[in-house]
Structures are given as C-alpha cells and as structure tokens.
Amino acid sequence: MTAEIGHFALILALLVAVVQATVPLIGAHKGRQAWMAVARPAAITQFGLLAVAFGCLMQLYITSDFSVLNVVMNSHTDKPLLYKIAGVWGNHEGSLLLWVLILSLFGSAVAVFGANLPPGLRARALAVQAMIAVGFYLFMLLTSNPFERVFPVPINGRDLNPLLQDPGLAIHPPMLYLGYVGFSMAFSFAIAALIEGRVDAAWARWVRPWTLAAWCFLTGGIALGSWWAYYELGWGGWWFWDPVENASFMPWLAGTALLHSSTVVEKRDTLKGWTILLAIIAFSLSLLGTFLVRSGVLTSVHAFATDPARGVFILGLLIVVIGGSLALFAWRGPALVSTGLFKPVSREGALLFNNLVLATAAAAVLLGTLYPLLLDAIGGGKVSVGPPFFNTVFIPLMIPMIIAMAIGPILSWKRADLMTAVNKLWLALLAALVAMAVVSVLRSEGPLLGIIGIGLAAWLGAGTLIELTGRIRLFRAPLGESLGRLRGMPRAAWGMTLGHLGLAIAIAGMTGAGAWKVESIQSMKPGETVQVAGYDFAFEGVKSSQGPNYSIVEGTFNVTQNGKPVVTLNAEKRVYNVSSRPTTEAGIHTMFTGDLYAVIGDEEDNGGYVTRLYFNPLVVWMWAGVLLMMFAGTLSLTDRRHRVGAPKKHQPSAATAPAGA
C-alpha cells in the first residue's frame, strides 16, 4: 500500500507541475492576476506530494519491504538503520526522487518567501521551475519508477554497495543535490527575466542568495565526496579528475563565476547578459553532471546498472533545456541593456577577469571529460584522459586568477589605478617571496609547482588581510575606530574576506598534499618497521573482529618519531556478509603538518601483508580551508540586504565601503 501511495503522489505531482508550468505563464503574459496566483499554491502542493512520495520510499526501506524492487536491490534486514535510510538515495531511482524533492523544496521556498517579488517574475520563475520538474517526473515515471513491485517477494535484499555504507557518503548525495538543484533557481529566474526582458538590481538581489546557498551546498558536497575518496578508497589521494568528480566540479566553477557576476549586476547594473548566460550554463552543467553520472556512459563508482532508454531520455531532456534556454538567450539577450560603464582596470573588470578564467577552466574540464566520448563516437578509439591532462591545463589557468584575486577587492568600482593597488600589496608580495624561500629550503627536492603553490597561497592570504586592514583603516585611524569598523562590516564583506582566506588555506593544503606526498608500498611481517618521511611505522600484526554486517581484519601500526611514540594506527579491511565484498578503511592520524595514513592489503603466502604507508602533508589545511569557504558563504547569506528585499536608490553611506563578492 505504501508503495502505491508513493507512486500515486508522484503522478499527482506531475499533474500539478503541468498546471504550474502553463497557467501562470499564460497569466503573466496576459496580465491575469488569478492565473498567475496559481503558481504559489501549486509549488507548495508539489512539495507536499513529493514529501509524501519520499516519505513512503523511506518507510519502505526502514521496514525492509522486499515486495518493492528498489528495496530488494539496495537494502538488507541486517543493515544498520542509518544505511537503510541512506540507501533510499544510494541508487538511481531513489536519488532521482531526492532530486525532484529538493527541486520542489526550492520551488515552494520561492512561493513562501517570495511575497515581495514582482508577481510576474515570480509566476514566470515558478513556471520554469515546474517545466524542469515535469521533465524529471516523466523520466522517473517512464523509466525509473522507485515504487516498482516485484513478485515473487524475495526473502531478503541484496544489500547496498558496501563502498556506500559510510557516514560521509550517506550525506554526500543530499548535499551535492542541494547544490545542483539550487542552481535551478538561478536558471528559472534567468529564464523568467529573459521572457520579461528586464534584469535589474532587484533581480540580482533575489537570485544571489539562492546561488550562494547552492554554492555552499555544492562546495560541501564536493568536499565530502573528496574526503570519502581519501579515507575509503585507500589510495592516499583526494582528487582523481574522475569524470564524476568533474561532473560536480564544472557547475561549481560556473556557479562561482555566477556568484561574482551577480554582485556586479546588483551593485553596478552591468554584465547582465553575461550573468544570465552564466546562470543558464551553471544549471546546464548540473544537468550534464546528472546525465554523465546517471546514464552510465562513463566508468565510475556512480555508474549503476544502466539502461540505454534512460540515457536517451536524459540526453533528450538535456538538449531541450540547454538548447531551448540558449535559443531564448540569443533571441532576448540583446534586449538587456547595461547602464553601468567601467574601465578595464576596476572592480568590475577584475570580477569579469575572474569570470572569464573560471569559464575557461570549466570549458577545459568539460572538454577533457567529454573528449573520450567524442573520440569514441567518431570511431577514434577508446582513450582515457587522466590527471596529467587536467593538471597541465587547469593549474596554469588558476595562477593568474589567484594573483588577480588579491588585487581585485582593492580596486575601486568603475575606474581604478593598478599601480596604487599594487603598491598596497607590497607586503603580500613579500609574504609570498618569504614563503617560497622557506619552502624551497625545506623541500628542495619537490616540484617547482609546489613552491609556486605555497607562494600563491601566501600572496592571496596576505592580500586578503591587507584588504581587510584597508577597509577598517587599521593603523591609519585610532584603534577604537578600526574596531568599530570591524564590527560594523557587512556580513557579505566578511563572506568575501573569509571565503578568499579559505581558498588561500585550501590552496596551501592542496599544494602540500599534491607536491610532497611520501608513499611506501611493501610487504611487511608482524614486527617489521618501515620509515616514511621520518616516521617509523612498526607493524604489530592483525586481529579479526565483527562489525554489524561485516567482518573486520584490523592491522595495527605503532608510529614513532625518533623513538618517541606518535600514535597507533588501525587500518581495517572489511568484508561485508551479504555481498562478500571487501572495503578498505585507512588508518589516518591527522596532524597540523600532515596526515599519517596506513592501508593494509591481502595476506601473502609467507605470512606478510602488503601495506601502503603515506605521509600526506597539509591535508587538514585543505578541509579546513573548504570549511571556512562554506562558513563564509553561509555568513554572507545572512547579510541584512538579502532580507530587506528591493534595494533603495542609493547606498546608505560611503563609510561602509561597498561589499565585495
């Protein structure tokens, strides 16, 4: 019964979405208030119906109802409750249900909080939102119904892929989807604005918080996935330029660009067409990511058993959405007139430069990700494009952007003097040079790129702090006044400062972990010791034990440095009972300077074990930096101006300098 209620709710949601996609749009065109007013209750109803459908599927998982195919394929009675719940979205059908649930959540949020939106814009944006929903409901109901029954009813389920039975990965998909789908808001508003032919500061002020929220979630989702790969796959790496990683990274790059360009629209009333285009691109890349991950055209952990019909459907959806929106942009885009003029050297110019680099980087990642598909399609052979390609293209593109990131916030709007700005940054240049000198002495054997990376991190970090001291007039005004300015700083400005600082810290971490990783692979017998980066790993032996639905072989390493004990690492190998599939749980000890990381492999004939031992420098900096970036985004989201609604004609006063991105 529960399954039928869920299925029925999904069908009802489709019908409501069809109404929401058409009636308000016609109403907005003809100026009929009553027709436009349909959008709000419809959006809220959709969310209610989706919540029922999702609740039903969750109930089926929790009670292990094996008359439902989806539950059989992905669950088991012995599975811990957390993973029964996570199993709901740990598969193709369920994750799509989560996708549309989040879509309807955002839609109803506009309906509830959008009281001060112009009615036409609101009606049109909600209609566009419903069009996307219709596409996905049809996809689910026609090709991927999560509520399909199975007969005869099996006694037990096939369990969830053990790799996915992990707390980090349990919340990774919801976070990622909140990000992906969050960009649908910017997209819907962009399409609505194109239909209306008007983009103004109020529009940007409405789109910005949604984009910011989506960006925070996407950042978190990507970081969680990366963290999971780091401790679960046991390769000591955290980013592999795998197609599915790229699938989430491309919308992130476009979304970051959108975040910055929407500031320009809001403050300076220019770059409108570009911002609309970015909103379209960010969501298109999110859809493309869904396509790449869900259709199984790429080899990856996310490629569930595949069905060509699904791939064709998503491809069709992709063509309609991207092609349609770009065509609309080509038709209506020229009508968007920007009033704010500016010189190339200005805050706007710097933000545009950042946008161009981010867009180029996203294009490069897109090309590298799709190249194997293209080449195969034209019969050019099967290839893989791996990390060396992405590193050679992506990193050089980022270098000028990081340099510009410290300069941009110091430039004034409209027109600025580059030399004045650079003069303010001499301390940052000094900091970068000192950091590079220190690193080249400490790690003389490492790659040149490592030294450059640390220098860039120091430059960006110091540059951001210099901008902050300038903003609060530290050392130039009495200390009390500076502290007052610090307290009075808008939260959006804090968001910029902390976000850029977070990136600086993360760059240091990525550089450290990428450039100076020490790896040692060997066969070890109990009692043997191996030295890695000055740490002695003594292998104590293994012991066996039982987890809730798996058995454990646990290897113990006593790590010492110059005879002084550091930590005892436990590296596990788990074998899951139902699928008899093993997973690796690396033993990790996190320190300020780096992670000690141990993985144990199979037993060899002579009683030894294959072990992989790593010293991964500065890894924790990377996670800390990303967390700071998410915090910065959230802080910026709580800024007063996002709650005030439509802007006043003028900024309140010149004392609170205009906030950056």
Partner 1 sequence: MKRKHKRLTFVFIAMLLLGAASALMLSAFEENIVFFYSPTDVKEKKLTDGKRIRLGGLVEEGSVKKSDGAIVMFRITDLTTALAVSYKGILPDLFREGQGVIAEGKLQGGVFKADEVLAKHDETYMPPEIAEALKKSGQWKGKEK
Q: Residue numbers of the site for partner 1 (CB under 8 A)?
A: 161, 163, 234, 296-297, 299-301, 303-306, 308, 341-344, 352-353, 356-357, 360-361, 363-364, 367-368, 371, 381-386, 388-389, 392-393, 396-397, 521-523, 579, 581-584, 599-602, 604-606, 610-612
Pick 477 or 521: Cβ nearer partner 1: 521
Whole-number minimum distance, CB 385 to partner 1, in Å?
6
**311 residue type, one letter:** G
Whole-number minimum distance, CB 10 to partner 1, in Å?
26
Q: Is the peptide bond before 447 cis (omega within 30 degrees of 0)?
A: no
Q: Greatest CA span in the chain, whole angstroms?
A: 82
Report d(CA 560, CA 530) in Å as an integer: 11
Pick 12 or 229: Cβ nearer partner 1: 229
The structure tokens 């390493």 sit at 557
Whole-number minimum distance, CB 387 to partner 1, in Å?
8
Pick 64 or 523: Cβ nearer partner 1: 523
Whole-number minimum distance, CB 574 to partner 1, in Å?
9
Pick 542 or 610: Cβ nearer partner 1: 610
Pick 445 or 605: Cβ nearer partner 1: 605
Pick 134 or 599: Cβ nearer partner 1: 599
Q: Backbone dihedral region of 533: left (phi > 0), alpha (psi from -120 to 50 degrees) or beta?
A: left
For the chain, how big is the Rg over CA atoms in Å?
A: 26
Whole-number minimum distance, CB 535 to partner 1, in Å?
19
Report d(CA 460, CA 465) in Å as an integer: 9
Whole-number minimum distance, CB 237 to partner 1, in Å?
11
Pick 341 or 427: Cβ nearer partner 1: 341
Pick 68 or 298: Cβ nearer partner 1: 298
- Please check whether residue 616 is in contact with residue 591, taking contact to mean a CB–CB distance below 8 angstroms: no
Whole-number minimum distance, CB 432 to partner 1, in Å?
22
Cα angle at 565 between 560 and 571, to 5 degrees? 65
The token duo for 226 is 């990366």
The token duo for 390 is 């992405």
Report d(CA 84, CA 79) in Å as an integer: 6
- Please check whether residue 46 is in contact with residue 107, taking contact to mean a CB–CB distance below 8 angstroms: yes
Report d(CA 601, CA 595) in Å as an integer: 19
Whole-number minimum distance, CB 333 to partner 1, in Å?
14
The token duo for 190 is 């962009």
Pick 351 or 630: Cβ nearer partner 1: 351
Q: Where are the alpha helices (DSSP H) in 472-527?
A: 479-488, 491-515
DSSP-derived letter for residue 604 is P
Whole-number minimum distance, CB 502 to partner 1, in Å?
25
Pick 522 or 531: Cβ nearer partner 1: 522
Which H or E run includes 270? none
Whole-number minimum distance, CB 524 to partner 1, in Å?
9
Q: Where are the alpha helices (DSSP H) in 197-242?
A: 201-232
Report d(CA 399, CA 455) in Å as an integer: 11
Q: In 10 A of CB 174, how many CB atoms?
A: 19
Nearest in space to 535 (alpha carbons), one of 594, 619, 603, 606: 594
